Amino acid sequence: MKSDKNPKPAKKAKPFASRRTAAEYEQQIGELTIHLQRLQAEFENYKKREAAQKAELMNGAKEAVLAELLPALDNFDRAATHLPAELENNAWAKGMQYVGQQLIDLLDSMGVHKFAPQTGEQFNAARHDALDHIKSKKPADTIVEVVTPGYEINQKVVRAATVKVSKGE
């Protein structure tokens, strides 16, 4: 029987089968840096897309809520416009006017803006909806009456103002 009282010393492992040169490391660092920069740019673009989609979703929700509120707002405006002269100093009537202004201010704070064209203003099909064309001393295609105001969100017209337009004499 053979004994192993004096085993052979273990062989030292070779550090690397092949050694890389400094130039190869620099090239790999350059490639990894470019890859990292691409990932950072893709992530920034992703964040921008997400923010744009979120803003679009919020505006869509605002438009949906506004569409439901507009008939009530229009009726509130009509009631305020046709307030009898004897009630102009009435405390209840003034309170209702304040409530109406609060609604407008709340919409403004949400980025929803009311706009009403002025009579005599040039008709603009992008912002105005012509309800009727009537004979008038005013030049053709000028607004002679505003029926309902328009609303916009972030300068996008959600509902055009309803107007009556002059067709001249």
The tens digit of pLDDT for each residue in 105-124 reads 999 998 899 999 999 999 99
Residues 165 and 117: their CA atoms lie apart, in Å, by 12
Tell me the pLDDT tens digit for each residue of 42-90.
999 999 999 999 999 998 998 999 999 999 988 888 888 888 889 888 9
Where is 113: in which H helix or E strand?
Answer: strand 112-115
Instruction: Please tell me whether residue 129 adopts helix, strand or coil conformation.
Output: strand
Question: How far is C-alpha 109 from the geometric centre of its chain's CA atoms?
Answer: 13
Query: Helices 22-81 and 91-109 sit at what angle, rounded to 10 degrees?
Result: 160
Cα dihedral 26→31→33→39 (10° resolution): -170
Two tokens, residue 49: 């897309």
What pTM was computed for the model? Answer: 0.67
* Percent over 90 (pLDDT), the chain: 58
